[in-house]
Structure 1
Amino acid sequence: MILKNFWKVINRPIVGLSPMDGVTDPSFRFIVARHGRPDLIFTEFVNVETAFFAPDAFIKDLTYDEIERPVIAQVYGRDPELFYPVAHVVCELGFDGIDINMGCPAKKVAAKGSGGGLIKTPDLARRIVRATRAGIEHWVQGQTLLDIGIPSELIQKVKASNRLRSGCESPPARLPIPVSVKTRIGYERNVVESWIPTLLDEAPAAITIHGRTLAQGYKGSADWEAIARAVEIASGSPTLILGNGDLRDMSDVVRRVRETGVDGALLGRSTQGNPWIFRAKEKAAPGLAERFAVMLEHARHFERHWGTERFVAMRKHLAWYCSGLPGAATLRSHLVRVNGMNDVVRCLRAYELSIAERRPPTVAAESGVDFACEPAPS
């Protein structure tokens, strides 16, 4: 069920999963939603052009599960005319919101004027927000994907994706979804004094600000003072401000919320291999059995969604789960060479045996992983 403008009713401070290219795919999001339960979840960003030139990839990237709600589709590009129809598609897919990426520092994105490149073209950025909102409004008024010339192949894939997830080909009601923006404090220098007011003029439901410039990439430290200034600028407006950058754990989130007055924060790299981070206050750190069970669940979901031909992309996730384990380097060296679920099971079984040999019998038994429901070695 779509949540009508959840930004207005969600509890604050908001602690959500940040969009990460190549990371927050459908399997990662499912695992985080199931085991971490963040307040909201963003997809990894999807190029608006792929809706027309690679519809299968577009739908695959925007596949989600109902347990992820509220779930927001993040898109990027530089052509307002493409954001208009893509907004229709995002609505038809039943997302709770649409987020426009105006902060990605990748050269292949920013150099083309997309992502963080839009900071240098504020007028274009505003036109993109307007086109997105217009697309949503016209969809709510009854305009169909066929009416605006969406290719039949994509229309059928949208229907199939909806059927698979909810049992229905279309959302139960045409409700407007909110538009938000994720950006940075500037391109080469801090320009929040001019950039944030520009975005606020378009009244997005929320603006998430990463505390680095585009030129910094992920080097140096996030400037939370600049984020605090953005909060001051947005004071009195209906737009929520979320912060992002260098948040290692929930204590960092609490501290930054208190220091800056942000309405919430998005966690990014600290969630990699650690879906439990959102529940740190209510749940002890996972033991080996739980960690391995989640690794297997994640790998199984990934293989089912992408197939073994894409399993290489799962390796980095498995490696992240190894952080803090005894003998992590050795286990990681094996997991980064796996090609499917059977390989993962073999690696974890071997690790379990090696741990059992080094521990007293009672300790080894307590930490055992149940592989009963997993594939047998081939």
Structure 2
Amino acid sequence: MPQVSLPQSLQKDQPFTALAPMQDVTNLWFMKVIAHYGSPDYFFTEYFRVNDTSRLNRGILAAITENDTGRPVFAQMIGESIPDLVRTAKELCHYDIAGVDLNMGCPAPRIYRKNVGGGLLLSPGKVEQILAELRQAVSDRPLTVKMRVGFENTDTFYEILDIVNRHNIDLLSLHGRTVKDMYHGAVKYDLIAEAVKRVDCPVLANGNIHSATTALEVLERTGAAGVMVGRWAIGNPWLFNQIRQALRGEPITPVPLVEVRNYIDRLWQTPTAATMPERSRVGYLKMFLNYIALSVDAEGQFLRLMRRTQTEVEMFNLCDRFLLSDLTQTLALAPYSGVGEQGSREQGAGEKVFSLPCSSTSSVNSPQSKNLDFDH
């Protein structure tokens, strides 16, 4: 089955950008928030769980059927049952999707222990079977893969890249860490560069792309066709526009902190806000503020004090204090070095936990926690 053309990017002949799929984050509401500040070229949904009893999740499906951002949306699946993956892919193709994406990178233990997500990297033979059947089922639109460079090591890396080639995958999103690395250690951009040379399809470089400058450096270092950004787009939804500015050789426009304060207001108004208890709503907002705060002040005071807030009034008084007191201040173009580590040392015990990408759980008070990267 031949490859299928990808949707047109916003800036023709420029490297393209994508918002990484993040479970419990990249829903329709958040896609619209990101689009307000500057859409990526491509969106990817949260993953549709696939098994013998699964049905298309209506909430995730809304990110496709009710999406008015004007940007293409890829539907991501996670699973290992070939008949059910084929069934689900065919069902998804009845909708206006840009393509079907297979998750082969989720590093959450409760996921990979089921031999799905990153667990598939342990079984190249299984990957071969899945991609062969999916390529037959998805023939009229792109079939894409999101993966890591290996499970515990990179022993199967080149074998799986060759499988990707054999089945004419149309786009490969590659996170430059292993599954067991989770989100620790350096991203292996050299292996992303190797993938670019080895596969016939475009490659999106993924992992720790936190600024427009970093995006350009990664593109130059890897030769990738574009970049996929996850958690850092939470902290800076202007990042995709800033990357486009940098690619055009233009100065990067700094974002006034007053605009960051407006962004926080948008985040507070979640679709489920009316039914959420105040403490849960504050906790959910902290998930986003953990990343925003890394670029607010170099001393990490906003991050540290934000984590201590318990109520809406406390939270927004603090936001006003740091974001509205000096209208000349802007959001840093990259996270301040060491701020997250300072906050993690001061993490309190017994904090609320909540569902995170790949169905993992982690404290809202730890942006450097192993489960909080979101880039599957």
Tell me, yes or no, whether TM beats 0.5. yes
**Do the aligned partners of 1:231 and 1:262 also contact (CA within 8 Å) in 2?**
yes
Distance 1:270 1:29, change over 3 A: same
Distance 1:227 1:300, change over 3 A: same
Name the aligned partner's letter for residue 254 of structure 1. L
**Do the aligned partners of 1:29 and 1:68 also contact (CA within 8 Å) in 2?**
no
**Once the 2 structures are TM-superposed, how far is the Cα of residue 63 of structure 1 from its aligned partner?**
6.5
Structure 2 residue aligned with 1:322: 293
CA distance in 1, matches of 2:268, 2:82: 37
Name the SS of the counterpart of 1:66 in structure 2.
Answer: coil
Please tell me whether residue 313 in structure 1 is matched to residue 284 in structure 2: yes
CA distance in 2, matches of 1:355, 1:28: 22
What is the percent sequence identity of the aligned residues?
Answer: 24
Distance 1:194 1:353, change over 3 A: closer
Deviation string for 1:180-232 (max 9, x for gaps)? 00111112222332220011111110111111122212111111111111111
Structure 1 residue aligned with 2:248: none
Structure 1 residue aligned with 2:32: 30
Q: CA RMSD in A?
A: 3.0
Please tell me whether residue 352 in structure 1 is matched to residue 332 in structure 2: no
In the superposition, the TM-score normalised over structure 1's length comes to 0.72
Deviation string for 1:228-273 (max 9, x for gaps)? 1111112xx3x11121122221111211212221111111222222
Of the three residues 272, 291, 297, the one matched with 2:266 is: 297
Structure 2 residue aligned with 1:254: 216
Of the three residues 159, 177, 196, the one matched with 2:141 is: 177
**Once the 2 structures are TM-superposed, how far is the Cα of residue 53 of structure 1 from its aligned partner?**
6.0
**Do the aligned partners of 1:27 and 1:301 also contact (CA within 8 Å) in 2?**
yes
**Do the aligned partners of 2:51 and 2:84 also contact (CA within 8 Å) in 1?**
yes
CA distance in 2, matches of 1:230, 1:63: 33
Q: What are the within-5 Å matches in structure 2 for residues 203-214 of structure 1? A: 203-214=168-179
Structure 2 residue aligned with 1:189: 153
Instruction: Flag structure 2 segments of 5+ consecutive residues without an equivalent.
Output: 246-250, 330-376
Q: What are the within-5 Å matches in structure 2 for residues 364-375 of structure 1? A: none
Name the SS of the counterpart of 1:43 in structure 2.
Answer: strand
CA distance in 2, matches of 1:93, 1:332: 41
Instruction: Flag structure 1 segments of 5+ consecutive residues without an equivalent.
Output: 138-175, 368-378
Please tell me whether residue 84 in structure 1 is matched to residue 86 in structure 2: yes
Distance 1:90 1:77, change over 3 A: same
Q: What are the within-5 Å matches in structure 2 for residues 98-177 of structure 1? A: 98-137=100-139, 176-177=140-141
Structure 1 residue aligned with 2:186: 221
Please tell me whether residue 287 in structure 1 is matched to residue 256 in structure 2: yes
**Once the 2 structures are TM-superposed, how far is the Cα of residue 350 of structure 1 from its aligned partner?**
5.9
Distance 1:17 1:5, change over 3 A: same
**Do the aligned partners of 2:306 and 2:318 also contact (CA within 8 Å) in 1?**
no
CA distance in 2, matches of 1:350, 1:221: 34
In the superposition, the TM-score normalised over structure 2's length comes to 0.72
Name the aligned partner's letter for residue 131 of structure 1. E
Distance 1:131 1:313, change over 3 A: farther
Distance 1:307 1:180, change over 3 A: farther
**Do the aligned partners of 2:261 and 2:319 also contact (CA within 8 Å) in 1?**
no
CA distance in 1, matches of 2:317, 2:240: 28
Name the aligned partner's letter for residue 82 of structure 2. P
Distance 1:125 1:292, change over 3 A: same
CA distance in 2, matches of 1:267, 1:249: 10
CA distance in 1, matches of 2:265, 2:292: 11
Deviation string for 1:270-301 (max 9, x for gaps)? 22221111122365222232111111122214
Distance 1:355 1:202, change over 3 A: closer
Number of residue pairs the alignment of both structures matches: 310
**Do the aligned partners of 2:192 and 2:222 also contact (CA within 8 Å) in 1?**
yes
Name the SS of the counterpart of 1:321 in structure 2.
Answer: helix
**Do the aligned partners of 2:52 and 2:84 also contact (CA within 8 Å) in 1?**
no
CA distance in 2, matches of 1:5, 1:130: 19
**Once the 2 structures are TM-superposed, how far is the Cα of residue 115 of structure 1 from its aligned partner?**
0.8
Name the aligned partner's letter for residue 28 of structure 1. F
Name the aligned partner's letter for residue 318 of structure 1. L
Structure 1 residue aligned with 2:207: 245
**Do the aligned partners of 1:222 and 1:246 also contact (CA within 8 Å) in 2?**
yes
Name the aligned partner's letter for residue 288 of structure 1. L
**Do the aligned partners of 2:306 and 2:315 also contact (CA within 8 Å) in 1?**
no
Distance 1:17 1:50, change over 3 A: farther
CA distance in 2, matches of 1:99, 1:286: 33
Name the aligned partner's letter for residue 292 of structure 1. R
